[in-house]
């Protein structure tokens, strides 16, 4: 699904894309806050919708069929009428070419059109099922990972930081999808406030974390998320067999990689294009060589073929905003949405400051009551081990730089250079700056 993007802040051509929450979700009970559980239920309903698409109504299959095929019906209706109006001229052409019956090649072309349409549809269905399966697997893996993490520690620093990493991963997934589909109509900054609570609760805003700086989002990808998160879990001593944290992280990374592979490995568009050419070439020959009954039924046959071809295109690339596309925005929002306790929310600003200091300066010490760093593990299989973050790496070290300032200067220069060459991804990522500042 080809999208569009304009470099000015907020100027997105798709009016529906100003929020990653579908319109019917965000317009709930007045003043009723959005919650993570509501988002998850909405995402599950959207996924379930594919198995029970309504036939009638403005969001039904019949309306999609009309929107898809009315132009084709109009064209071939006029074309069929024209074949009757100019019947004498068509007969004269046939006589000049000594054509007294249906040409031999008409039947093979008909069979080829049907064969290519069936093959295209079968491939598209396989790809759609894979996309839906991988997206559902990623959503389930993320929520299972979140559950394992939050159930393994009472330290607000670890709980909040872990959810920052999960939000970061979700944004990286969205960035990858936007790049491979060339659809930049859904701004990344929407995922920084999936619960739409920034105005109601400014202290609960995690967008101040350095993970969401445009330079970081530009420079890092899924492999970096896996590497940094594993080091963080190792430093916090949360990764052990009994907690199932490391195994759940493996599932998250596996599902992430499956989606990335699905986006990267894509058949050339030559096949669907050739399929369309073959179908319409055959349809255009029908009034010339067919009988009157074939001419009358031509518009109806044409719209069926057109609907099937359009369906195949939508199923083959289900990452946009078409009728049969995946509920990507709702699922992404549910994955990015944090699961807070009241105590966690009170600590967010302080924890974000601690996490930023660690990721940019590799200073993880924290002198506080309750959960200082360094300290010893107080319970569980790692009882008595030291939590000191000595093995943790900063972002600039992961990126191969000596200091944070050097990394930021290099990333900022690379981002500006990409923008100067009109790279849409660079402008797309840079828009996050206006949300996090």
pLDDT per position as a tens digit, 169-181 = 999 999 999 999 9
Report DSSP state, residue 387: E
Which H or E run contains 347? helix 342-361
pLDDT over 50 (residue 46):
yes
CA–CA separation, 91 and 71 (whole Å): 28
pLDDT over 50 (residue 5):
no
Give pLDDT, residue 436: 67
CA atoms within 13 A on the CB side of 316: 20
Give pLDDT, residue 4: 37
**What average pLDDT does this structure show over 135-160?**
93
pLDDT over 50 (residue 183):
yes
CA–CA separation, 355 and 349 (whole Å): 10
Most distant CA pair in the chain, distance: 98
Token pair belonging to 219: 């420079």
pLDDT band at 100 (very low <50, low <70, confident <90, very high): low
pLDDT band at 132 (very low <50, low <70, confident <90, very high): very high
- Over its C-alpha atoms, the chain yields an Rg (Å, rounded) of 28
pLDDT over 70 (residue 392):
yes
Q: Which of 210-224, 229-243, 278-292 has the highest mean pLDDT?
A: 210-224
CA–CA separation, 113 and 95 (whole Å): 27
**Helical H runs in 105-211?**
106-150, 156-181
**What average pLDDT does this structure show over 218-225?**
95
Written as one string, the DSSP assignment of 17-77 is GGSSS-HHHHSSSTTPPP-HHHHHHHHHHHHHHGGG--SSSTTSHHHHHHHHHHHHHHHHH
CA–CA separation, 290 and 361 (whole Å): 77
Yes or no: say if 429 and 419 are a contact pair by the CB < 8 Å rule.
no
pLDDT over 70 (residue 9):
no
Give pLDDT, residue 87: 87
3-state per-residue secondary structure call for 71-83: HHHHHHHHHHHHH
pLDDT over 60 (residue 197):
yes
Burial 106-143 (b: 16+ CB within 10 A, else e): beebbebbeebbeebbebbeebbeebbebbbbbbebbb
Which H or E run contains 5? none
Q: Which of 114, 141, 348 is nearest to 226 (CA)?
A: 141
Burial 241-256 (b: 16+ CB within 10 A, else e): eebbbbebbebbbebb
Three-state SS at 376: strand
Give pLDDT, residue 103: 66
CA–CA separation, 350 and 156 (whole Å): 10
pLDDT over 80 (residue 8):
no
Three-state SS at 393: coil
**What average pLDDT does this structure show over 183-212?**
85
- Look-up: residue for tokens 């074939």? 294
**What average pLDDT does this structure show over 28-47?**
78
Identify the weakest region by mean pLDDT among 80-94, 211-225, 344-358: 80-94
Token pair belonging to 410: 């290099």
Token pair belonging to 269: 């568009």
Yes or no: say if 167 and 338 are a contact pair by the CB < 8 Å rule.
yes
C-alpha of 331 from chain center: 8
pLDDT band at 262 (very low <50, low <70, confident <90, very high): very high
pLDDT over 70 (residue 59):
yes
Token pair belonging to 35: 């919650």
CA–CA separation, 29 and 33 (whole Å): 9
Three-state SS at 432: coil
C-alpha of 202 from chain center: 27
Residues 6 or more apart in contact with residue 125 via CB below 8 angstroms: 315
**What average pLDDT does this structure show over 330-344?**
89
pLDDT over 60 (residue 3):
no
Identify the weakest region by mean pLDDT among 9-23, 54-68, 353-367: 9-23
CA–CA separation, 114 and 279 (whole Å): 8
């Amino acid at each position: 699904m080809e999208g569009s993007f304009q470099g000015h802040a907020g100027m997105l051509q798709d009016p529906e894309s100003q929020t990653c929450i579908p319109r019917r979700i965000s317009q709930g009970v007045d003043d009723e806050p959005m919650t993570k559980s509501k988002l998850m239920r909405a995402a599950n309903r959207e996924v379930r919708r594919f198995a029970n698409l309504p036939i009638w109504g403005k969001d039904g299959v019949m309306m999609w069929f009309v929107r898809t095929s009315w132009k084709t019906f109009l064209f071939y209706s006029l074309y069929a009428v024209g074949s009757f109006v100019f019947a004498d001229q068509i007969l004269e052409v046939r006589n000049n070419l000594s054509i007294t019956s249906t040409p031999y090649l008409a039947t093979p072309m008909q069979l080829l059109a049907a064969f290519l349409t069936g093959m295209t549809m079968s491939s598209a269905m396989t790809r759609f099922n894979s996309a839906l399966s991988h997206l559902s697997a990623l959503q389930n893996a993320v929520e299972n990972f979140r559950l394992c993490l939050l159930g393994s520690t009472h330290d607000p620093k670890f709980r909040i930081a872990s959810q920052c990493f999960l939000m970061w991963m979700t944004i990286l997934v969205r960035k990858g999808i936007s790049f491979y589909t060339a659809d930049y109509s859904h701004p990344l900054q929407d995922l920084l406030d999936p619960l739409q609570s920034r105005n109601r609760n400014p202290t609960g805003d995690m967008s101040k974390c350095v993970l969401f700086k445009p330079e970081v989002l530009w420079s890092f990808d899924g492999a970096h998320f896996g590497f940094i998160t594993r080091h963080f879990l190792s430093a916090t001593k949360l990764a052990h067999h009994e907690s199932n944290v490391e195994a759940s992280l493996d599932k998250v990374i596996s599902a992430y990689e499956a989606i990335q592979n699905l986006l990267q490995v894509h058949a050339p568009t030559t096949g669907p294009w050739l399929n369309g050419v073959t179908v319409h070439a055959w349809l255009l020959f029908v009034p010339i060589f067919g009988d009157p009954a074939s001419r009358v039924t031509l518009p109806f046959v044409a719209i069926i073929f057109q609907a099937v071809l359009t369906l195949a295109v939508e199923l083959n690339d289900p990452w946009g905003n078409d009728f049969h596309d995946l509920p990507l925005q709702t699922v992404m929002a549910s994955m990015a949405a944090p699961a807070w306790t009241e105590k966690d929310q009170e600590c967010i600003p302080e924890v974000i400051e601690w996490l930023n200091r660690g990721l940019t300066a590799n200073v993880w010490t924290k002198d506080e009551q309750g959960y200082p760093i360094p300290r010893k593990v107080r319970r569980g299989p790692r009882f008595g081990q030291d939590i000191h973050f000595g093995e943790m790496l900063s972002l600039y070290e992961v990126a191969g730089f000596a200091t944070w300032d050097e990394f930021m200067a290099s990333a900022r220069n690379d981002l500006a250079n990409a923008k100067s060459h009109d790279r849409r991804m660079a402008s797309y990522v840079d828009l996050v700056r206006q949300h996090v500042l």
